[in-house]
């Protein structure tokens, strides 16, 4: 764990193969590190340049006058063995080897990979890679990856056996301003494996949930042991690709490792409490939600909606996913009778038939949240109507005999956003007080989004099926926690 701390929390780092040539990896990596605002010391190493991206460059590692915690290597494969020996001579114990052209490139590369692994072992150095797109450690302001993300600090850790896919998922999170703790592309896993990173992310308190993209795990027994320990403390959400024949073949050729039977992986995930998802967008939604929401006690859901159709769709999705919609008891019906229009539907999902008073939403949500028979709540179409209001304002602009002044329109929009913000804050309060997840479905574009409130995070999604899918996965995790 100490060496992995040096990897993810280095106070200084050397970039061997740093470059001033835009587009080269040696440029892209240092560019991201600088852009993210890494606070430690950066020593670019390049025998032909004196300055790289404004920093003093060194011709060789041994020319650097200070201690170095981490080396990032971006030089041709055949130069890596000597470079690793230099690292060891400089008392460096952690490295990230970005360079490709090893096992994935054929026999010669495989031999070279064995050689560098042996050098590292002998020299007490651990490395990630080779053939990785890098690592990120947001609490250390470090993004040693070719694509700068500028991600927020937060609870999610990402481990990916595909660099391209891993960085894409990281970009999704970053663009949605969902906070991240660590990212690691694992590359060829010559020395450090996905297993080691899982153990490390499990051990670090910054991490509240772990998202994994898996093509193949070499040591299944060890993986199970680690996973069992980690899932006790925090949710691990895994996407295992290669479930089809063709996909499995493609995975083998991609990583060079045996992908193994998909069913074996599914069984392993089930036994160890890992939440298995099918697609990268599911990985985004489930991991994003589980890093921020309480886990429900069981599978009973209360739904409120602004219109009948959406409630029906949500009910269908719940039943498909094994979730239960308890019937409203008489005392709740009686209570809501005094708040809702006479013709309300008196069942769960509660259809509030187009009413638009935020106090009423909040009241109903409070009744649902305090109701002992439900464990989580979905609120459909209550928040997210500002899109309609904006369309309305644009429409008014086009009308000769329009009734609204610019000021009035802006104040309408402001009021709407304020009222939505209030509903969201009250939801977060109820979520915090009752420890039941409350998920907003905006029905607007944009997918997963997370808002900070004084009571914690509030989660919203675009569609009921996304919300139901999240709750269903949480319920499976709860079942595992209750009976591992």
Residues 4 to 43: which contact a copy of itself by CB under 8 A?
20, 22, 31-32, 34-37
Decide: 260 and 251 in contact? Cβ < 8 Å.
no
3-class SS at 51? strand
For residues 103 and 255, give the distance between their C-alpha atoms in angstroms, rounded to a whole number. 8
Q: Is 71 an interacting residue with respect to a copy of itself (CB under 8 A)? A: no
Q: Is 187 an interacting residue with respect to a copy of itself (CB under 8 A)? A: no
Residues 360 to 419: which contact a copy of itself by CB under 8 A?
381, 387-388, 391-392, 394-404
Question: Which of residues 445 and 454 has its CB atom nearest to a copy of itself in the complex?
Answer: 445
Please state, in angstroms and as integers, the Cα–Cα distance from residue 240 to each residue in 199, 271, 278, 281, following that order: 18, 15, 7, 13
Question: Which of residues 4 and 190 has its CB atom nearest to a copy of itself in the complex?
Answer: 190
For residues 285 and 336, give the distance between their C-alpha atoms in angstroms, rounded to a whole number. 33
Please choose, out of 192-200, 250-258, 267-275, 287-295, the segment that lies near a copy of itself by the rule CB under 8 A: 250-258
Q: Is 483 an interacting residue with respect to a copy of itself (CB under 8 A)? A: no
Largest CA distance in the chain: 83
Q: Is 445 an interacting residue with respect to a copy of itself (CB under 8 A)? A: yes
Residues 136 to 175: which contact a copy of itself by CB under 8 A?
147-150, 160-166, 168, 171-172, 174-175
3-class SS at 143? strand
Q: For 387-392, which contacts have Cβ atoms below 8 Å and span 24 or more sequence positions?
A: 387/444, 389/413, 389/416
Question: Which of residues 104 and 206 has its CB atom nearest to a copy of itself in the complex?
Answer: 104
Decide: 87 and 79 in contact? Cβ < 8 Å.
no
Chosen residue from 106, 322, 456, 484 binding a copy of itself by CB under 8 A: 106
Closest approach, Cβ 274 to a copy of itself, in A, equals 18
For residues 33 and 82, give the distance between their C-alpha atoms in angstroms, rounded to a whole number. 25
Question: Which of residues 273 and 464 has its CB atom nearest to a copy of itself in the complex?
Answer: 464
Chosen residue from 15, 53, 71, 142 binding a copy of itself by CB under 8 A: 53
Closest approach, Cβ 54 to a copy of itself, in A, equals 2
Residues 309 to 328: which contact a copy of itself by CB under 8 A?
309-313, 315-320, 325
Q: What is the DSSP string of 335-370?
A: HHHTTS-TT---SSSEE-TT---HHHHHHHHHHHHH
Query: Which of these, 40, 67, 70, lies nearest to 55 by C-alpha position?
Result: 40
Q: Is 269 an interacting residue with respect to a copy of itself (CB under 8 A)? A: no
Question: Which of residues 172 and 480 has its CB atom nearest to a copy of itself in the complex?
Answer: 172
Closest approach, Cβ 120 to a copy of itself, in A, equals 25
Q: Is 196 an interacting residue with respect to a copy of itself (CB under 8 A)? A: no
Q: Which tokens hold the place of 297?
A: 């006690």
Q: Is 453 an interacting residue with respect to a copy of itself (CB under 8 A)? A: no
φ and ψ of 221, to 5 deg: -65, -45
Chosen residue from 1, 51, 410, 417 binding a copy of itself by CB under 8 A: 51
């Amino acid at each position: 764990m100490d060496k992995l701390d040096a990897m993810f929390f280095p106070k200084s780092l050397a970039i061997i193969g740093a470059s001033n040539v835009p587009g080269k990896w040696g440029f892209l990596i240092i560019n991201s590190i600088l852009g993210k605002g890494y606070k430690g010391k950066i020593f670019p190493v390049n025998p032909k340049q004196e300055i790289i991206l404004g920093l003093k460059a060194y011709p060789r590692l041994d020319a650097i006058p200070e201690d170095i915690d981490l080396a990032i290597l971006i030089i041709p494969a055949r130069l890596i063995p000597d470079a690793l020996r230099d690292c060891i001579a400089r008392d460096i114990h952690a490295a990230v080897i970005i360079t490709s052209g090893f096992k994935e490139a054929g026999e010669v590369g495989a031999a070279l990979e064995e050689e560098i692994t042996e050098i590292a072992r002998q020299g007490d150095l651990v490395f990630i890679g080779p053939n990785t797109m890098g690592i990120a450690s947001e609490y250390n302001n470090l993004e040693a990856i070719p694509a700068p993300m500028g991600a927020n600090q937060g609870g999610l850790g990402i481990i990916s056996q595909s660099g391209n896919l891993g960085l894409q998922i990281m970009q999704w999170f970053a663009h949605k301003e969902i906070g991240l703790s660590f990212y690691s592309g694992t590359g060829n896993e010559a020395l450090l494996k996905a297993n080691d990173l899982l153990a490390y992310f499990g051990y670090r308190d910054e991490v509240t949930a772990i998202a994994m993209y898996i093509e193949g795990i070499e040591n299944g027994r060890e993986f199970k042991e680690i996973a069992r320990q980690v899932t006790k403390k925090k949710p691990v959400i895994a996407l295992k690709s290669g479930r089809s024949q063709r996909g499995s073949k493609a995975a083998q050729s991609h990583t060079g490792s045996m992908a193994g039977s998909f069913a074996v992986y599914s069984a392993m995930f089930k036994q160890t409490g890992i939440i298995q998802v099918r697609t990268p967008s599911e990985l985004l939604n489930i991991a994003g939600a589980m890093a921020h929401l309480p886990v429900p006690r069981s599978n009973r859901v209360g739904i409120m909606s602004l219109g009948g159709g959406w409630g029906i769709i949500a009910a269908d999705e719940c039943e498909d996913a094994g979730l239960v919609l308890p019937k409203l008891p008489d005392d709740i019906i009686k209570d809501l009778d005094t708040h809702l229009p006479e013709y309300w539907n008196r069942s769960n999902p509660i259809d509030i038939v187009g009413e638009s008073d935020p106090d009423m939403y909040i009241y109903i949500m409070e009744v649902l949240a305090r109701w002992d028979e439900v464990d989580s709540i979905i609120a459909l179409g209550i928040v997210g109507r500002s899109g309609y209001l904006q369309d309305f304002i644009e429409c008014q602009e086009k009308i000769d005999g329009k009734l609204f002044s610019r000021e009035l329109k802006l104040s309408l929009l402001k009021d709407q956003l304020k009222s939505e913000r209030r509903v969201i804050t009250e939801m977060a309060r109820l979520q915090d007080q009752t420890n039941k997840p409350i998920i907003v479905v905006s029905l607007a574009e944009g997918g997963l989004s997370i808002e900070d409130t004084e009571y914690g995070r509030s989660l919203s999604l675009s569609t009921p099926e996304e919300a139901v899918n999240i709750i269903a996965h949480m319920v499976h995790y709860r079942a595992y926690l209750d009976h591992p």
